[in-house]
Amino acid sequence: MVLSFVILILGFIALVWSADRFVYGAAALAKNLGVPTLIVGLTIVAMGSSAPEMMVAAQAALVDKTDTAVGNAVGSNIANILMVLGITALLRPLGVGSGILKREMPLLVVVSLAAWLIISDNQFSALEGWLLLIGFFVFIGGLIYISKTGKTDQDDPLISEACDEVPSDVPMSKALFWLVVGMILLPVSADYLVDAAVDIAKYFGMSDLLIGLTIIAIGTSLPELAACVAGVLKNEDDLVLGNIIGSNIFNILAVLSIAGILNPATLDSNIASRDIYVMLGATAALVLMSVSLKGRRQINRVEGGLLLGAFCGYMYFII
């Protein structure tokens, strides 16, 4: 069991590092091939924080652990809002002012409701997985369209900060090297991580769903936590909220879809009767905390404490 925990921790470290290297290489390669910085920033870089969840979901589904894959997607969304946003807001109140957030917030609500609709009958079919994946490509296409047609505000902090994350002046050989390293290490680290998580779950009598909602969901949300803490320390509030909203949209459309496509299955009844409603409640809390009738929108420390307290209570309840 000690060995399983060691492998789990090393797997998380390797997964996060290889995802970062993969995104770095892919973004640098796209930039070298002439893809506009704005498009690279809003697609490849934006997908980066969800790469660990996508790879873990694929590995879990391939070994007939669809509940773990679904629990990872739903649990990561819960952790992103309640844990990551809660901790970040405790460090410093977050202002909400980006125009693109106003467009993405309703989209987050829509895709969250779509996830609820799909999961509510405890059945996850391949068709539902493909529909989510189609939605993912429509979302990406929409980002590219609005960026090309100039329908985004180029002074929008989220736009400029996303572009700042795109590497520049990276030699083609270096970009290809890190792309290949990431492509190799991502599935390998995810495979070891899932195997270790399954061993731990069996030892403690945890269900496949519970291991996805807890250990894996928290572990794969660590990149978002690191990015958000770094962002708030640099006063990049819109980047913090953009990371959370974008990651949650990606988790539903890209991560959740993988589970249904690779291994359609009957789901643990708890996901439909309990966890999906916690995710919807967390999403509703995010929306309510981001809207103000007085014109100034801010998520303060008290709200951050409430979010983090809710996450701790949820973890205690399900464990």
What residues contact residue 32 under an 8 Å CB cut-off, 6+ apart? 170, 172, 175
Check whether 189 has a pLDDT greater than 90: no
| Segment 35-46, tens digit of pLDDT | 777 677 766 766
Average pLDDT value for residue range 253-266? 92
Average pLDDT value for residue range 151-165? 59
Under DSSP, the state recorded for 297 is -
What's the pLDDT score for residue 67? 92
In angstroms, the CA 160 to CA 192 distance is 37
Q: Radius of gyration (Cα) for the chain, nearest Å?
A: 19
Cβ atoms < 10 Å from Cβ of 106: 10
What's the pLDDT score for residue 29? 85
What's the pLDDT score for residue 242? 78
**More confident position, 81 or 152:** 81
In angstroms, the CA 191 to CA 53 distance is 12
What's the pLDDT score for residue 295? 56
Contact 143, 156 (CB under 8 A): no
In angstroms, the CA 139 to CA 145 distance is 10
Average pLDDT value for residue range 292-297? 61
The alpha carbon of residue 96 and the mean position of all alpha carbons in its chain are separated, in whole angstroms, by 20
Six token digits for residue 28: 């640098």
Instruction: Provide the CB-side half-sphere exposure for 1 (13 A, CA).
Output: 5
Average pLDDT value for residue range 110-133? 94
Considering 44-48, 97-101, 128-132, the range whose residues carry the highest mean pLDDT is 128-132
What's the pLDDT score for residue 22? 82
Beta-sheet strands, E only, within 202-268: 265-266
Q: Mean of the per-residue pLDDT values for the chain?
A: 84
Check whether 96 has a pLDDT greater than 70: yes
- pLDDT-above-90 percentage for the chain: 34
Average pLDDT value for residue range 8-13? 86
Beta-sheet strands, E only, within the chain: 94-95, 123-124, 265-266, 298-299
What's the pLDDT score for residue 100? 58
The conformational region for residue 185 under phi > 0 = left, psi -120 to 50 = alpha, else beta, is: alpha
From residue 297, give the alpha-carbon distance in Å to each of 10, 24, 174, 227, 238.
40, 33, 42, 21, 12
Buried b (16+ CB within 10 A) or exposed e, 26-41: bbbbbbbeebebbbbb
Considering 80-84, 162-166, 171-175, the range whose residues carry the highest mean pLDDT is 80-84
- Least trusted range by pLDDT, from 140-144, 156-160, 208-212, 223-227: 156-160
Six token digits for residue 272: 């439909």
What's the pLDDT score for residue 79? 94
What's the pLDDT score for residue 88? 92
- Least trusted range by pLDDT, from 36-50, 128-142, 163-177: 36-50
In angstroms, the CA 191 to CA 195 distance is 6
CATH number of the 2-318 domain: 1.20.1420.30
Six token digits for residue 318: 């399900």
Average pLDDT value for residue range 74-80? 94
The domain locations on the chain are: 2-318
